[in-house]
A and B are shown apart, each in its own frame.
Chain A
Amino acid sequence: MAKTSDTCRKCVLDSATPGISINEDTGLCQFCEHFTSLSQEKIKEYGTRMDSLLKSPPENGKYDVIFALSGGVDSSYMLHRIKREYPHLKILAVQFDNGFISDTALENAQKFCALTKSTYMRLSLDQEALQVTFSKAANSFNAYPGAAKYRASDICNTCISIIKQKIIELAIQTKAPFIIFAFSPGQTDAPFVTLSKPILVWMRKLFDQNLKAMGVTDREPYLIDAHLIQPGSYEHEVVIIHPFLIWNYDKTQFKKECIQQGWIDPNLKDQNSSNCLLNAFAIKNHLDKYHIHSYAYDLASLVRQGYMKREDALKKLTIQISDASNEEIKRKLKL
């Protein structure tokens, strides 16, 4: 008889997921077994560093910060709070139009930019080519390395990587010293990332390899402009900041505060996204291909760190996509 799967008694990871093992004696997954929480001293140290960076940004160019704004709860809350804590910052908030953003997310993003006096930019690429790229991501297998498959679906990894590449490109072009992403403490564990030219060249190369493995032929539009990171090009330093690793991450509170500021809940029936119509399909596609729920690792990490209740995370792992929505996305992606 086949052995049934076990779920970690602390987080939500399950031994049915490839690569996840549960210790029979402790009932813990390998991540919970080795987990040590970040000390208050360390968090304070990170907070001091963020203050020192954002309180007096170098006067390089038109903007101090390039901000990745999806129009969902996390990024809307963060934009509002960053501007509340550092009102002097000149922010360019960039919303990437992947062709599947809800109308409400578009409205929310523009509303929060007006509220925070940030400059709004809708970043659009060739929509037809983008749909073909997402379609290739959906049909791909192992285009991303091991760890990346646990962080996000192939479709979301593609979308997020494009956003990263293009936002870094904008920071270099506009000489902005900082980039801010609203990644949760489950999505990243590095509060600051200093981008050197060799790292950027490498990041570009890695994503180019992923796109190539998917069969994407016209890859340049998705990558950092190679001329910008050649030897002898830009000289200023760009630092990525992830403030949710410094502030307390409380999504329920964020949503409450956003709604008070006029944020509208799009009610997408997707437990894990309040902005993207493609997300639920991407989760299902990933689960079908690899038996990995692309939010499990992120949610497990939030539970492990005490930012989310285990039962709430388990609820979020249920698949919420209707047959009609699934078919609609498939039709749009020509799958």
Chain B
Amino acid sequence: MSATIEFTIDGKEIKGQPGQTILEAAQQAGVYIPRLCYMKGLTPWGSCRVCTVLINGRPQAACTQPIAPGMVVESSTDKVNALRRNIIDMLFVEGNHFCMFCEKSGSCELQALAYRLGIAAPKYPFMFPKRELDMSHPDVFIDHNRCIQCARCVRASRDVDGKHVFDFADRGAHRRIAVNAEAFLKDTDLAVTDKAAEACPVGAIVKKRTGYAVPFGQRLYDKKPIGSEIEAGVKS
């Protein structure tokens, strides 16, 4: 078996190692594939579909699909980015994402992806669901209005923290993040130092009393679009 697997993304020749996913091999080669539910160190989940690419014309999640020799991958094309924009659009309208006062604004992956993909305003009608906050924990809070159900908190708590604080409850349109307690986050064993407390890509699980401490201009995505560090070859 060859030590490297060769394939192409948007015509660019990529060399990866056996066992890598398309997203990992692309990242190693300095090619950014947009993603939300993927987080380094967590088991790939393949749920948000933002990393969708076309493999030999078929849509697949780049974060879960292993590379194979001779694959022809389409990623940064108008057709694929249109699919991604639709997904981001739907995520925005399905929750209550008020960027103008959200403390995650400027460092939010959902917002940063919208900017990168050129979404000025959602094209679908807002659903304005009625969702709650869980502020019961002394150091961390959940704002369900902003949850995109990426399951990063679920996997971080289970796989990294070894705690299983979060999981999903209910089904279909009613599906939501729930905590491993009768009702409230305070009754779980979540600690502010847990990976789960910092895994959220949006402002749904946030450390308390830290909001707005970073001024405009210095927030994560104020200077360069999301993915720039990968394209610049910065190893994470």
A binds B: no
